[in-house]
Amino acid sequence: MRTTIFSILAIFFVVIIFIFYIDSGVNNDKFIIQDIKAGFDGIVLKKVSVRSNDLLTHIKIKSKTKDTLVFIGQNINNIKMDDSIYKPAGTPFLFIKSRRQTKRINYSLIPSRLLYSDDFEASWKDSCKTTWKHIVQQ
C-alpha cells in the first residue's frame, strides 16, 4: 500500500516537472517563429489592454483589409496614435513612422536554444549572425 502511494506521488511529480519543462520555453518557440513569419502594416488607432484593469500591451491598427490587434508588450511607450506601423514578414523587427522619424524596434527576441534547433528556418540562421545578432539571447 505504501509503495503504491509512493509510486503514484512520484509519477505525479514527474508529470508536473515535465509540464513545467515544456511550458518554460519549448512552447514559446513556436510563437516566436510565428511572430517572425507574420507581417502587418497599418495606422495605430489606439492602445489596448486585453484584460480589464491591466497594462496596455496591444495596439489596434487599421490596415487596408481590416482592423487588427497586435501585441506590442513593453514597446507600447514607443508608439503614439496615428503612427504608421510596419512589420515585414520574415523579420523580427517592427518599424514605427511618426511625422518626424522612423524607429526600428525589436519585435521578437530569439533564444539561442531556438536558433540552434531544427525548427528554426535555415535562411534565418545567417541573419542571426549578422543583421539580427543583437536580438539573439544567450
Q: Tens of pLDDT along 22-63?
A: 555 556 788 888 989 989 999 999 998 887 777 888 889 998
CB atoms < 10 A from the CB of 99, how many?
8
Q: What is the pLDDT of residue 3?
A: 76
Q: Which of 63, 128, 74 is nearest to 105 (CA)?
A: 74
Instruction: Kindly report the pTM of this predicted structure.
Output: 0.71
Q: What is the pLDDT of residue 86?
A: 93
Q: What is the CA radius of gyration of the chain?
A: 20
- Phi and psi (nearest 5°) for 99? -60, -35
Tell me, what DSSP letter sits at residue 120?
S
In angstroms, rounded to a whole number, what is the distance separating the alpha carbons of residues 15 and 8? 11
Per the CB < 8 A criterion, the answer to whether 125 and 114 are in contact is no
**Band of pLDDT at residue 76, cut at 50, 70 and 90:** confident
Q: Tens of pLDDT along 80-119?
A: 899 999 999 999 999 999 888 899 999 889 998 888 888 8
In angstroms, rounded to a whole number, what is the distance separating the alpha carbons of residues 40 and 23? 28
The full set of domain ranges for the chain reads: 25-137
Q: What is the pLDDT of residue 19?
A: 57
**Band of pLDDT at residue 14, cut at 50, 70 and 90:** low
